[in-house]
């Protein structure tokens, strides 16, 4: 991989783990973050590293982006408005950050010498598709624009179109990664992320609140496995111009997840069901099954997820009980 790397959103959950890994590999790392959902605390383990440069700022700041992209050999674009709850509460911010912000990053990468760019997209782009496993070439099926939760997936789909357009028209070397539910230390439950929310509820002795019937299916991947996959993809020239699902093909229902959290974190905790309407407001639609087809990823890189769901829950618990939370 290249030697100097810019991570937008590098103070966030995934970005901070990525920064740690890249520094460990001897890279020089530049972080641009507005600390909206990210935190200085996430950078605590690396804050004094001589090869780390943290620039507080926003991806709406085009001159700053050009300055930082100019210093880097490649870019991981992780900054985004993330999480279903945040998206429902701040729809304008989601659309602007994810579309205009990403265009600014792509432009800066292009203007500073066509820097390689890994774009963090999401499984949410599959919308409410009903495939048993989502494949990169599947149709994207969104709900009505009157339901703001689709603005997240839709905005990321536009990002993908834009990135591929820059690749085709200007030769920008982009790699698009559709991340499925990524979990681990430093993820916060405030924005609707289910694993840290369940673990925190169990630690507090509160009921573990399952939204809906709990039969919805997800696949969870440890952030360390995701970050490894991102670095391997970035290193493989054949991945340029392509889209990859990144995740774990190990399905679990949300009800089963709640039971596992109870067992590992607090056997006395109760499990309570509440409606989506109560959690997210009227008209909220969830996706029943979200599971990746990772055959393309497995062909491209040597990828074997190391952590299972029990390890993930344990790591999240240890983190929430440490003093390294914002």
Q: Which residues bind ligand NAD (CB under 6 A)?
A: 8-9, 11-15, 32-38, 58-60, 78-82, 97, 101, 120, 122, 179, 181-182
**Residue found by looking up tokens 């991340």 in the block:** 179
CA distance 160 to 122: 10
Which is nearer to ligand NAD, 243 or 269 (by Cβ)?
A: 243
Active site residue 152: yes
Q: How far is the CB of 2 from ligand NAD (least distance, A)?
A: 20
Coil, strand or helix: which one is 160?
A: helix
Q: How far is the CB of 73 from ligand NAD (least distance, A)?
A: 20
Which is nearer to ligand NAD, 223 or 265 (by Cβ)?
A: 223
Instruction: For residue 208, give Cα distances in angstroms to 182, 310, 320.
Output: 20, 17, 16
Instruction: For residue 193, give Cα distances in angstroms to 21, 106, 295.
Output: 23, 28, 26
Q: From the candidates 152, 166, 211, 280, which is the catalytic residue? A: 152
Question: Are 149 and 88 a contacting pair, CB within 8 Å?
Answer: yes
Report the candidate in 102, 103, 81 with the shortest Cα–Cα distance to residue 91: 81
Q: How far is the CB of 40 from ligand NAD (least distance, A)?
A: 10
Which is nearer to ligand NAD, 28 or 33 (by Cβ)?
A: 33
Question: Are 284 and 88 a contacting pair, CB within 8 Å?
Answer: yes
Which is nearer to ligand NAD, 37 or 110 (by Cβ)?
A: 37
Name the closest residue to ligand NAD (Cβ).
38
Q: How far is the CB of 267 from ligand NAD (least distance, A)?
A: 27
Q: What is the sign of the dihedral through the CA atoms of 231, 236, 240 and 246? A: negative
Could you list the active site residues? 152
């Amino acid at each position: 991989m290249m030697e100097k790397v810019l991570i937008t959103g590098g103070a966030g959950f995934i970005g901070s783990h990525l920064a740690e890994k890249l520094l460990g590999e001897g890279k020089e790392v530049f972080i641009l973050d507005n600390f909206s959902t990210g935190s200085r605390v996430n950078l605590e383990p690396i804050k004094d590293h001589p090869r780390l440069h943290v620039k507080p700022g926003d991806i709406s700041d085009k001159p700053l982006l050009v300055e930082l992209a100019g210093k880097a050999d490649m870019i991981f674009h992780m900054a985004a408005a993330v999480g279903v709850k945040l998206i429902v509460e701040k729809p304008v911010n989601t659309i602007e950050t994810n579309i205009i912000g990403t265009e600014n990053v792509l432009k800066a990468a292009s203007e500073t010498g066509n820097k390689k760019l890994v774009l963090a997209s999401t499984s949410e782009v599959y919308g409410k598709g009903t495939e048993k496993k989502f494949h990169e070439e599947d149709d994207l099926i969104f709900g009505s624009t009157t339901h703001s939760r689709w603005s997240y997936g839709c905005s990321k789909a536009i990002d993908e179109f834009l990135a591929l357009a820059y690749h085709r028209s200007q030769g920008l070397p982009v790699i698009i990664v559709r991340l499925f539910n990524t979990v681990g230390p430093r993820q916060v439950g405030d924005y609707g992320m289910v694993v840290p929310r369940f673990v925190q509820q169990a630690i507090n002795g509160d009921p573990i609140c399952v939204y809906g019937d709990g039969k919805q299916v997800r696949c969870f991947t440890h952030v360390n496995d995701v970050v490894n996959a991102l670095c391997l993809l970035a290193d493989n020239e054949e991945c340029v111009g392509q889209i990859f699902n990144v995740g774990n093909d190990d399905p679990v229902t949300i009800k089963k997840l709640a039971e596992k959290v109870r067992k590992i974190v607090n056997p006395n905790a109760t499990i309570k069901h509440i409606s989506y309407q109560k959690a997210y407001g009227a008209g909220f639609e969830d996706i029943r099954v979200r599971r990746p087809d990772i055959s393309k990823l497995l062909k491209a890189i040597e990828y074997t997820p190391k952590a299972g769901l029990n390890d993930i829950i344990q790591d999240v618990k240890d983190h929430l009980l440490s003093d390294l939370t914002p």
